[in-house]
Structure 1
Amino acid sequence: MGDTFSSLLELGGPVVLILLVISIAALAVILAKVFQFASARVGRHGLVRQAVTQWRTGERNTAAQNLIKDRSLSAALVRNAMDAIQMLDQQPLSSQERDIREERLREEISARAADRLFALASWLKALDLVTQIAPLLGLFGTVLGMIDTFQTLQESGAAANPATLAGGIWVALLTTACGLAVAIPVSVAVTWFETRLEKERAALEVLLTGVFTAGSSSTVAST
């Protein structure tokens, strides 16, 4: 396998070497993003949905306490919103003043959620750039290889060997294949990350809306 790898680098030239470096860097970023998504428990909303349901039925202390053991991104944001609303409930505020403060709180939590989602989206643009550059680099290597092949063919004149021409062409096409081999899996990874982020963004919007539209504790208790 090592000999095959060495021969691939020798045949493909510097373009294949560049693609190799890009693929290693892309793999490192993908693994780091997988760890980041797993640490933030992206897509895991079971306990949070249950807590929001408890919150809306009046079990506010229980809902907030249940989220302490959940280390997901959504749990942290929803718990912050619940704690802040409970602090508002304890203050002697008029209805108008409470509405103003709650609206400011909602904007603050939304901004915090956007910031956390932005952090999760970091480096995805770099991976997307890899999916665009890798095929172009492969094509560039193919063009250079074809130029070299036809230049050799021209110098050979009437004594040109068709087998040599065919060999030069397939070596030139090798860089295109390497570029596509790098771009395709990275493109799949980027699509997967972006899909998870969109679902997380939608879930956060639904969960936070459920918390803020539940009304004050006195209103919930009276219902």
Structure 2
Amino acid sequence: MNIITGLLFQATEADTLAQMLNEDTSMSFLEILTQGGVLMIPLFILSVLAIYVIAERWRKLENSKMDVAAMLNNIESLLKSGSQQRAIQYCEEFDKPLARILKSGIRRLGRPIRDIEEAIRNAGKKEIYYLEKRMNWLATIAGVAPLVGFTGTVTGMIQAFMDIQSLQGNVNPSVLAGGIWEALITTATGLIVGIIAYGFYNFLLGKINRMIFELENASADFVDLLQTPSRKKKQEA
């Protein structure tokens, strides 16, 4: 009888524990986040800002792409026909970094090649700045979000131990565990925001570097294109 009674008692305890777990896990994701405290507000703001920067930069980079070879061929045809103004107008039809860089070089045709290269270099620096715009925001969010999360956990743990002291240690373990997991919510949220921001920062930075490389190559090809006629003249002479 004692064995049966003990088994029944253990079964009752297991059912009670399962019921408690079901009640805890029935909380929605939003309800769990609201348990993180006041520091969840800056974490929410950081997450929204990160999403905005990621979407805005991705769209900017996608809109900046163009067929480099086709554009250089068209510009070469226009310049060979002596239509410098038409070449400038052709570049103005595209709201792209490469078009603006080449237009700055075409405007200085007739000047020494060094002046043209300098104009292209300055225009390239400006376009690189616009490509990298707001990327520092994403890097800052990747570093700050986990720190905000850790701060929330530390303050939550301090509050939990203050409650233990005020009750002179007579604290239900379930109450203590509840206070601890609520404090850890900010750390988990901060890490998630930071990881996402850091991952997309490196991803977007890679796309930017590739585009910068393409712009530099296209600029060098354009300068070679301008020097080709003079080279032919020298060879004929």
Which category of TM-score, normalised to the shorter sequence, fits these structures?
Answer: 0.7 to 0.9
Give deviations 1:115-149, integer Å, cap 9, x for gaps: 01101211111111111110000000000011111
> What letter corresponds to residue 198 of structure 2 in structure 1?
S
Alignment partner of 1:106 out of 91, 110, 117: 117
Higher RCO by CA contacts (8 Å cutoff, separation 6 or greater): 1
Unpaired runs of 5+ in structure 2? 1-26
User: What value does the CA root-mean-square deviation take over the aligned residues?
Assistant: 3.1
CA contact (8 A) 1:138 1:179 kept: yes
* Secondary structure of the corresponding residue to residue 14 of structure 1: coil
Query: How far apart are the structure 2 equivalents of 1:60 and 1:189?
Result: 44
Change (3 A) 1:6 1:198: closer
Change (3 A) 1:6 1:53: closer
Residue 231 of structure 2 corresponds to 219
* Secondary structure of the corresponding residue to residue 12 of structure 1: coil
Residue 49 of structure 1 corresponds to 69
TM-score normalized with structure 2 length:
0.73
> What letter corresponds to residue 123 of structure 1 in structure 2?
R
Unpaired runs of 5+ in structure 1? 89-97
CA contact (8 A) 2:104 2:123 kept: no
Superposed, 1:146-165 pairs within 5 Å as 146-165=157-176
Deviation at 1:29, TM superposition (A): 2.4
* Rg comparison, structure with higher value: 2
1:13 aligns with 2:33: no
> What letter corresponds to residue 211 of structure 2 in structure 1?
E
TM-score normalized with structure 1 length:
0.77
Identity %: 25
CA contact (8 A) 1:145 1:168 kept: yes
> What letter corresponds to residue 204 of structure 2 in structure 1?
F
Superposed, 1:66-215 pairs within 5 Å as 71-81=95-105, 83-84=106-107, 87-88=109-110, 101-214=112-225, 215=227
> What letter corresponds to residue 126 of structure 1 in structure 2?
W
1:23 aligns with 2:47: yes
* Secondary structure of the corresponding residue to residue 122 of structure 1: coil
CA contact (8 A) 2:61 2:131 kept: yes
